[in-house]
Amino acid sequence: MGEIEFEDRHYSEAVERGAAERLSQPVPVSVRYDAASGRIVIEMDTGAAFMAPATMLEGLENASVDDLSKVELVGETGLHWPTLDIDYTVAGLMQGIFGTAKFMDARRRGGQSRSVAKADAARRNGLRGGRPRKSS
């Protein structure tokens, strides 16, 4: 493979684009775990804040309050839990990405189950008249 030539002007242009992009978006300035609400709170330089439920994030669902409280802001883009060795990007959390695709799909489906046993139980309940009516 041949070497890629990288000129100084390419570097300068990339730095300028990055600086312009940074100015157009809020920048995280702090992060903390709020035990009362169970949420990770990311404070922005604009005064706005973003919150995400800690138990909904893959790897944090069974973490202790002590471990959750040790969250760190990494640069301006990431969150890191050193005792758990877990990382997330702020942008990803803001887009609702709380884990791997498999984890997210399992969360989305929740209690959905299509087992033979569940289908049989539903049929038997249906033969008994289904769900009882609500009394008013």
* CA–CA separation, 15 and 51 (whole Å): 30
Model confidence at 67, pLDDT cuts 50, 70, 90, reads very high
Residue pLDDT, tens place only, 6-59:
788 888 998 898 888 877 788 899 999 999 999 999 999 999 999 999 999 999
Quick one: which of 108, 89, 101 has its CA closest to 40?
89
Q: Count structural domains, the chain.
A: 1
pTM score, whole prediction: 0.66
Is residue 17 in a domain?
yes
Domain with 62 in it: 8-100
Is residue 27 in a domain?
yes
Is residue 118 in a domain?
no
Model confidence at 110, pLDDT cuts 50, 70, 90, reads low
Is residue 131 in a domain?
no
Backbone torsion region of residue 38, taken as left when φ is above 0, otherwise alpha when ψ lies between -120 and 50, otherwise beta = left
CATH number at 60 reads 3.30.2020.40
CA angle 89, 82, 48 (to 5 degrees): 40
